[in-house]
Amino acid sequence: MTTHTSYDPNALCDLAEIAARTAAPALLTAFRSEMSVAFKRDAHDVVTVHDKAAERVISTVLQRGVPGSEVLGEETGSSGDARLRWIVDPIDGTANFARGLAYWCISIAAELDGEVVAGAILDPVAGNMFAAADGGATLNGTPIRSASAADGRATLLTSFPTQHDVDLLGDGAFELLAQITRSYQHHHSTGSGALNLAHVAAGWSDATMGFDTHPWDVAAGAHILSRAGGTYTGFRGGVPANRPQHSLDYVATGAGGDHRALIDGVRDLSARWAPEAE
């Protein structure tokens, strides 16, 4: 993309991919090297110098590609008030990244006039680029399609319940975990909500969910999943959210499966803690 402003979703998607690929080599070099970890909300919420450096690189590439565009980044917040907003998580799964576990990604969404129109999620260790603009979703350029079994035969990827979830939801978190444990064939705690969404989009898993999420955790993944035929159901205060990036709590599923009981469970807990207004 040149310096003229282009709002074509395919061009925005290409630029998001370029930005992610530009940041990836330094992250791969840092991965499994000595690094110090700082804390944000609490001792479970970690950040490294590499998160911040990657976000700077990504923002530079995006704003050079579309001058005047705004970036909402996890590490630096929001800059400006433009029609085009990039929603950036430089590392989703920082706890894994810092510990040497190979389940983390770079997540970038392009939001135009409030709607996400393109998303790219790069898993640099596996060499997987999940992406979607206004056509179908792709993995390394090849079309992907989600698929979902009903809960009894389904695999659920989630980080739930995190310590923060337990603080927020109390015993309700363990009650929902018991329901999940009984009704799903497998459930795995992964540490990267964005990569979970990408894996459901690719058909490698059936469903994913989370509480008290942020726009940068879900914007790209929800878009890729929906372009792969899946469904993202988001809530704020138990009320359906208009857009994934405005939701706090969510269940996302591949095409076909019936996950009503999980959706109801998340909605009920969502109603107990979160504010409704967007």
Per partner kind, with CB cut-offs from 5 to 8 A, the member of ligand IPD, Ca ion, none near residue 253 is: none
CB within 8 A of 22, min separation 6: which ones? 57, 58, 61
Please state the closest distance from residue 108 (CB atom) to ligand IPD, in A.
13
Binding span for Ca ion by CB under 5 A among 20-28, 88-96, 171-179, 181-189: 88-96
Closest chain position to Ca ion (CB) = 92
Region near Ca ion per CB under 5 A, out of 67-75, 128-136, 157-165, 167-175: 67-75
Minimum distance, C-beta of residue 222 to Ca ion, in the bound complex (Å): 13
Stretch in the footprint of ligand IPD (CB under 6 A) among 177-185, 188-196, 229-237, 240-248 = 188-196
Residue 249 interacts with ligand IPD (CB under 6 A): yes or no: no
- Residues 210 and 160: their CA atoms lie apart, in Å, by 6
| Residue 89 near ligand IPD by CB under 6 A | yes
Q: Based on the shown chain and the rule CB under 6 A, indicate whether residue 270 belongs to the binding site for ligand IPD.
A: no
Nearest approach in angstroms of CB 148 to Ca ion is 23
C-beta pairs of 66-72 under 8 Å, 24+ apart in sequence: 66/1, 66/5, 66/6, 66/12, 66/15, 67/3, 67/5, 68/5, 69/5, 72/215, 72/216
CB of 192 to ligand IPD, least distance (A): 5
Q: How far apart are CA 126 and CA 46, in angstroms?
A: 23
We find the least distance from the C-beta atom of residue 64 to Ca ion, in angstroms, to be: 22
- Tokens coding 220: 């790209």
Smallest gap from Cβ 95 to ligand IPD, in A, equals 6
Q: Does 59 bind ligand IPD (CB under 6 A)?
A: no
The answer to whether residue 92 forms part of the interface with ligand IPD (CB under 6 A) is yes
Per-residue buried b or exposed e for 46-76, using 16+ beta carbons within 10 Å of the residue's own CB? bbbebbbbbbebbbebbbebbeebbbbbbbe
Site string for ligand IPD, 150-179 (x = CB under 6 A): ---------x--x-----------------
Residues that bind Ca ion (CB under 5 A): 74, 89, 91-92, 217
Residues that bind ligand IPD (CB under 6 A): 74, 89, 92-95, 159, 162, 191-193, 210, 213, 217
